[in-house]
A and B are shown apart, each in its own frame.
Chain A
Amino acid sequence: MLRYSLRRFLGAIPTLLILIALAFFMIRLAPGGPFDAERALLPEIEANLRAAYHLDEPLPMQFVRYLGNLARADFGPSFQYRDYTVTELIMTGFPVSLRLGGSAMVVALLFGISAGSLAALRQNTRTDYTVMSLSMTGISIPNFVMAPLLILLFAVYLGWLPAGGLGEGSWRNMVLPVISLALPQIAYVARLTRGSMIEVLRSPFIRTAKAQGLPMYKILIRHALKPALLPVVSYLGPATAAVITGSVVIEQIFGVPGLGRFFVQGALNRDYTLVMGVVVFYGVLIIVFNFLVDLAYAWLDPKVKYG
């Protein structure tokens, strides 16, 4: 187990380096720069600014310097928000994004697994068809379409929930963003759970449990759920990536001041360090999460050998 973890961990390092290199060189090679303002700066001032941020050095040098700073968890100063470091900005945005994304994941898993199991138990009945067509709808309506539709219905017409903002952290402000973010994931999780649950319910050990006269809910919870959830566990990695990407638009639509908004604003303002910071931060997060998911999978599935 330890050797397996170590190997997987070492395997993640090239991924991370490639991500950093891709983002770094793509940004630096792009036309335009952080000091392109409507009012042109004096050439001397711009040269001084560039020197202060080490932008005058050759690119490979800058890259090595950036990597060195990253190793010390220093993302550098933001170009746009002059008085803040990127680390500070990430630390203000991330808790908000985490709350949004985390709630969406929990909601997606809870509802997805229950709906999927229900559909599997009632396979080929009306319940099954309803769950499956609902989840097909969930997959087919992108979250940035769902979000404005939900606002239209619940905020504009019915007036039950606020249309955006944080509202001093009230749960009412989180309902619509979390639902819009979670719906497609609920749908995917439900489909995955249904498929694997049907397969598990057909297997001999469930038949044995039934023959022994265990009530269905006990069979489900004690025996069927764990093997049936394996595909869901391996879907957790892509799901996290999808939720993080989705939160970029959802935060934009609902005016939630999270990391996703920093990313889009930063990209538009050519705030090199901020954009790099968000990409690297999320990249590390996704890679670490995938690593944990793999470990959990290996631990859950007795068939997987960690060699």
Chain B
Amino acid sequence: MSAATSQAVGEDIPGRSLWNDAWRVLRRNRAAVASAILISVMAVLVIVGPLFSSYAYDFTDWSNLSIGPSFETGHIFGTDTLGRDLFVRTLYGGRVSLMVGIVATIVSLVIGISYGATAGYLGGRLDHIMMRIVDILYALPFMFLVILLMVFFGRHIVLIFVAIGAINWLDMARIVRGQTLSLKNKEFVEAAEAQGVTAFAILRRHIVPNLLGVVAVYVTLTIPQVILVESFLSFLGLGVQEPMTSWGALVKDGSEELESAPWMLTFPALFLAATLFCFNFLGDGMRDALDPKDR
């Protein structure tokens, strides 16, 4: 996926891979490119930003309780009712939200790909049973079960990953299975079978690498969903625990001080919405770029 390939018009014409084509289409989509840049900026800001702030995320500034944004005090986003610097807390919240988004997506990715590819490739009775299980799970109102899980078994961060990953792998499994079904009758898979390659090796070497396009699109669209679920849980007071925070928890705090300290709501809400917005736009752009149907 390097930018140089598009200029390499010399004596021999370079092959056009799916990724080269996709990259070219994606780069023309200004909204997607802007979103990708903004996401990178957000990631860097969230990781590096707190290092440059003179306040810790749990430090109480007793002389500046619940003050609005101002440069004189150094609290550029203001402080919350406990006098904690909102800028640092927003960035720390972003760390948690983005981390949950990425880790839980990987969890659902691993489960979804192995499950979907197995069902699709082995096919037959096993496929039927496996997809029936997905259908049954699909119809469950999972959010309620997740809420119960968090209420009853404590608010451990690992539990958040597991709970969210457990919801999201279903979509992934369905998509991957569909793709696998169409891939497994292709000539290169037949060739591998004829050479006596084992089913597991075919899945790993031939099927899964060819799924990556669809999966890449889906990952970009899953991350915002996961961030949303995490902030939903945090909003109900079931996410990460004080003094640690996440965007959802900050929005909850802010919504309780609407009238006295509106900045407590607006800054975290802005960061959360902007991030979700960018991921959705990027995912849409990638779908346009990687979807072979649109060529």
Contacts and interface: CB of A to CB of B under 8 A. Distances in A.
A264 B236 contact: yes
Interface in A232-260: 241, 244-245, 248-249, 252-253
Contact of A15 (B140, B231, B248, B251): B140
A263 B235 contact: no
Contacts of B265: 148-149, 152
Chain B interface residue bracket vs A: 35 or more
B145 A141 contact: no
Contacts of A107: none
Interface string A7-21: 000011011001100
Contacts, number: 118
Q: Name the residue among A18, A139, A152, A290 with the largest chain B CB count within 10 angstroms.
A: A152
Tell me what chain A mostly uses at the interface: helix, strand, loop, or mixed: helix
A140 B254 contact: no
A268 B255 contact: no
Contacts of A30: 148, 151-153
Contacts of B255: 144, 147-148, 151, 253
A149 B276 contact: no
B141 A286 contact: yes
A136 B139 CA distance: 26
12 contacts: A11-B135, A14-B136, A139-B276, A140-B273, A140-B280, A141-B273, A142-B231, A145-B269, A148-B265, A241-B141, A252-B236, A267-B151
Interface of B: 135-137, 139-141, 143-145, 147-149, 151-153, 224, 228, 231-232, 235-236, 248, 251-252, 254-255, 258-259, 262, 265-266, 269, 272-273, 276-277, 280-281, 284
Given A248-B147, A283-B141, 4 more contacts: A15-B139, A136-B284, A279-B148, A286-B141
Which 3 residue pairs are nearest across A and B when measured between Cβ atoms?
A: A30-B152, A148-B255, A140-B277
